[in-house]
Amino acid sequence: MGKAVFKSESVMNCMGRVIKVCHMTSAHEWNDVRIFMKMCHSLREAGYDVSLVAAGVSREYDGIHVVGCGEKPVGRRARMGGFARKVYETARELDCDIYHFHDPELLPYGIKLKQAGKKVIFDSHEDVPEQIMSKYWIPVPFRWIVSKLYTAYESYAVSKFDAVVTATPAIAEKFVGRTRNVVVINNYPKLDDIVFQTKPFEERSANICYAGGLDELRGGRFMVEAVNELDNVQLVLAGPCDDVIKQVISEGRNVKYLGQLDRKEVNVMYSNAIVGLVLLQPLERYKVSKPVKMYEYMAAGLPFVCSDFPLWRELVKETGAGICVPYGDLDAARRAILQLVNDKEMAQKMGIMGRKAVENKYSWNKEVQKLVNLYKSLQ
pLDDT of residue 1: 37
Q: Same CATH topology for 20-188+363-378 and 201-360?
A: yes
Of 291, 284, 273, 285, the C-alpha closest to 337 is 273
Question: Which residues lie closer than 8 Å to 166 by C-beta, 6 or more apart?
Answer: 123, 124, 125, 172, 175, 182, 183, 184, 185
Q: Quick one: 317 exposed, middle or buried, by C-beta within 10 A (0-12, 13-18, 19+)?
A: exposed
Q: Which residues touch 338 (CB under 8 Å, ≥6 apart)?
A: 230, 233
276 by DSSP, 3-state: which? strand
Q: Topology of domain 201-360, per CATH?
A: Rossmann fold (3.40.50)
CA distances from 105 to 31, 57, 80, 111, 216 (A): 19, 21, 6, 12, 25
Phi, psi at 70, each rounded to 5°: 85, -175
Question: E strands within the chain?
Answer: 20-24, 49-54, 59-61, 64-68, 98-101, 119-124, 163-166, 182-184, 207-211, 234-238, 255-257, 275-278, 304-307, 322-325
In this structure, the strands spanning 64-68 and 59-61 are antiparallel
Check residue 302 and give its pLDDT: 98
The radius of gyration of the chain from alpha carbons, rounded to an integer in Å, stands at: 21
Q: 330: burial class by Cβ within 10 Å (0-12, 13-18, 19+)? A: middle
Give me the pLDDT at residue 137, please.
81
Q: Please give the class, per CATH, of domain 20-188+363-378.
A: alpha beta
* Each residue's pLDDT tens digit, 287-318: 999 999 999 999 999 999 999 999 999 999 99
> What is the reported pLDDT for 310?
95
β-pair partners for 98: 21, 119
Q: How far is CA 341 from CA 15, 37, 46, 72, 201, in A?
A: 61, 33, 43, 42, 9
Domain positions in the chain: 20-188+363-378, 201-360
> CA-CA distance, 160 to 120, in Å (whole number)?
9
Helix (H), strand (E), coil (C) string for 146-197: HHHHHHHHHHHHHCCCCEEEECCHHHHHHHCCCCCCEEECCCCCCCCCCCCC
Low-confidence ranges of the chain (pLDDT < 70): 1-8, 12-16
- Cβ proximity of 80 and 66 under 8 Å: no
> pLDDT tens, 225-239?
999 989 899 999 999
* pLDDT above 90 as % of the chain: 86
Strand arrangement of the beta sheet that strand 275-278 belongs to: 255-257, 234-238, 207-211, 275-278, 304-307, 322-325
- DSSP conformational letter for 343: -
